[in-house]
Amino acid sequence: MIFAANLKCNHTRESFKSYADALNKALKNKDEEIFVFPPNVAFLKEDLKFTQGTQNFYPCFKGAFTGEIGKEHLDEFGIKCVLIGHSERRILDNEALIKAKFDFAKEQNYTIFFCIGEDLKTKNLGNSKDFLKKQLEAIDLNYEKLIIAYEPIYSIGTGISADKEDISDILETLSVLTKAKLLYGGSVNENNIKEIQTIKHCSGVLIGSAALKIENFIKLIKG
């Protein structure tokens, strides 16, 4: 089972060091796959019992790209895992840039967490599946290090998770399109995580606010 934490614009290097130390200690005998995506300024150069990933990057090695982070910067921290397509990034990144990020990450043999999700209007119109399929059109669904995270926009940061039946239906559809591991994200918390984990084709969860405090994330992992 995959447990991934997206810390978004939270934590400093100092606070993430405490977070990582506590997580390392808790994971001493755990077999699950654990991923954490801290802010870029909080990356650590330490031995970690979990995979550290980046929430964002620019598809370049380095260069005249003001304010961006390239492969050279990720290499300094040994980072080979990237998050692409999160709805909070899609507000800023167009489809061409998302595809460029995916293609670059694939060339570098990175593990890619690719996020897809629809808003409530799309869901209510019954267009969820077509919308999600369109978000996947430009990427290689056969890439061996691809992990797809289904995160309905109406559930992110709202405290309202999608219905189990809706999640199951979407993951069933995605399982026909790809052999990639499928995750669910969107207001995952201690009240719903066990039910989500029982859904067919669900290989794990991508957790946001419920993972900001390390004691909560550890509790979710331990079940």
Q: Could you give phi then psi for residue 104, rounded to 5 degrees? A: -65, -45
Q: CA–CA separation, 57 vs 111, rounded Å? A: 13
The arrangement of strands across the sheet holding 204-207 comes to 51-52, 33-37, 2-6, 204-207, 181-185, 146-150, 111-116, 81-84
Instruction: Name the residues annotated as catalytic.
Output: 86, 151
Kindly state the tokens that stand for 97: 């840039």
DSSP class of residue 146 equals E
* Contact by Cβ (8 Å): 23, 52: no
Can you count the helices (H) and strands (E) in the chain? Answer: 9, 8
SS3 for 71? helix
Task: Give, in degrees to the nearest 5, the angle at Cα 67 between 64 and 72.
Answer: 65
From residue 157, alpha-carbon distances to 69, 117, 204 in Å are 26, 13, 18
